[in-house]
Amino acid sequence: MTQYWVIRGGERRGPYEESDVLEGVELGTVRPNDLLWVEGMREGVPITEVIANLGASPPSKPPLTLEPLAPGARGAASPYRPPSARVDDLAELALGNLTYAGFWVRFAASLLDAVLLLVIAVAIGVAIALVAILLGFRVTSLRDEAWTNLVGFVLSWLYFATLESGPRCATYGKRAFHLQVLGADDLTRIGFLRASARWLGRFLSMFLLMIGYLMQPFTPRKRALHDYIAGTVVVVQARYSRGLAVTVIVLAFGIPVALGALFGAGIAALGTGGR
């Protein structure tokens, strides 16, 4: 009998039988943006593309329950063997045990996105300046050019809206922590327009004295104001590195403080030397 594995957030779960997969679709624990994989395939394919070819009808039985392996019970040590099923597989998801992303991991992801956007913006600015010089145009100060602000807004919008509505449902910062932005009602991939509304909502969350962000840890599903505006949630698809989150946050606050201290010390030294 063919065995199937479900891939979500880059993590493979299984094996399952065909009836288990169909049952998961009926219960909503297998989502349309999940991938289905069987041995011999190079990569998984979206559930929605293959569900019509699964002929069995979902059985009327309790949700799938998986038992842990007995101590020492291991499969054949083959490098081509898929990973075995985990106890918290489909059965746990069937009970609705989703993990919603907390404040600090989302903050760390946003910091990574900000750094990446800054690097991209600088690269674009340098490229434009070089082209202008080669064409003989005068290169003025970037801060005096209103169009650079427009380019920055468009870049930010396309970055967040395109990636959060894409197949991975996440920006690169969120991917680093295995987070996904999904629809709040059906926990499926959102469209580009909803992702755009979420991006615009971020400004409202920011302008209201950051209350739109600060409310996030206290809402039932850890939703920020822009999540409510766009009808989204941010979920944790796989275990992420808490050490990485702490490191990103510490560096984000520590580097400016250290640079400020060095700058202040340099000014003080110059003042002392001039006496």
Class of residue 253 by CB neighbours under 10 A (exposed 0-12, middle 13-18, buried 19+): exposed
Q: Tens digit of pLDDT for each residue in 85-97?
A: 333 344 344 334 5
Residue 152 half-sphere exposure toward CB, CA atoms < 13 A: 14
Using alpha carbons, select from 99, 95, 91 the residue that is nearest to residue 13. Answer: 91
Nearest Cα to Cα of residue 173 among 256, 257, 254, 234: 234
CA distances in angstroms from 85 to 12, 73, 91, 158, 169, listed in the order given: 9, 13, 11, 38, 24
Q: Domain-by-domain residue ranges, the chain?
A: 4-94, 103-236
More confident residue, 62 or 120: 120
Q: At what angle do helices 192-207 and 146-164 cross, to 10 degrees?
A: 120
Dihedrals phi, psi of 183, to nearest 5 degrees: -65, 140
| pLDDT average, residue stretch 71-92 | 38
Q: Return the pLDDT at 32.
A: 74
**E strand or H helix that includes residue 8:** strand 4-8
The pLDDT value recorded for residue 1 is 64
What are 200-221's pLDDT values in tens digits? 999 999 888 899 999 999 998 8
Per-residue confidence (pLDDT) for residue 126, from 0 to 100: 83
What tens digit of pLDDT does each residue of 8-21 get? 767 777 778 887 88
pLDDT tens digits, 151-190: 888 999 999 999 999 988 999 999 999 999 999 887 888 9
